[in-house]
Amino acid sequence: MHLLVNNAGMPARGTFLTVDSELIERVIAVNYLGGVWMSRALLPGLRRGGADRGAHIVNLVSIAGTTAFAPAGAYAASKHAQLAFSRSLSAVLGGSGVSVHAVLPGFVETEGFPQKGVLKSPLLGRFVIGPERVAEAVLRAVEKGKREITVPWFPYRAISILQAIAPGVIGRFASMSDYRTGSV
């Protein structure tokens, strides 16, 4: 075995104060622990594959793993955990022949995440991408040995950097952003 892509994910729109507690637990289980358990279960095969030609674990994290987005607090928390897991696993597996990559897409339009229909902000809607851009980023991460890759780079990488150096700015922006009423 040479490649594992951890891509399980589910939305959790709503703040920590409004979303059901069961949804918080489910989104953590799917978005974070799903990748942990799959990686642990398939690691023996990946190590065998890595000994031959190298193997890869790709975690589809989300830009939400680097920013605090209050209108989807539980989702963001699950993606923060997934990014920390990816970074930790990369350190643990260093030199083993198994490389770990984190792909951090912004808003992606899919059946499970119909972003254009649920985002209130027309500005955020302009940066929604299709899944083919994410697939290209996965290939680029593996082929070029990138540990982390943000797609699209602008504006999301800039937002990640701004979150790290001036979290209050992102917090104010996030408090002005939201999902349309009735979106789950």
Give which of 26, 60, 55 is closest to 148, Cα–Cα: 60
Complete domains list, the chain, with CATH: 3-176 (3.40.50.720)
| pLDDT at 81 exceeding the cut of 70 | yes
pLDDT digits (tens, 9 = 90+) for 125-165: 677 878 999 999 999 999 999 999 999 988 878 888 888 88
Q: Return the exposure string of 71-84: e unless at least 16 CB atoms fall within 10 Å of the residue's CB, then b.
A: bbbbbbbbbbbbbe
3-state SS of 123-182?
Answer: HHHCCCECHHHHHHHHHHHHHHCCCEEEECHHHHHHHHHHHHHCHHHHHHHHHHCCECCC
One-letter identity of residue 59: N
Q: Which residues participate in catalysis according to the annotation?
A: 75
pTM of the model: 0.86
Report phi then psi at 162, rounded to 5.
-60, -40
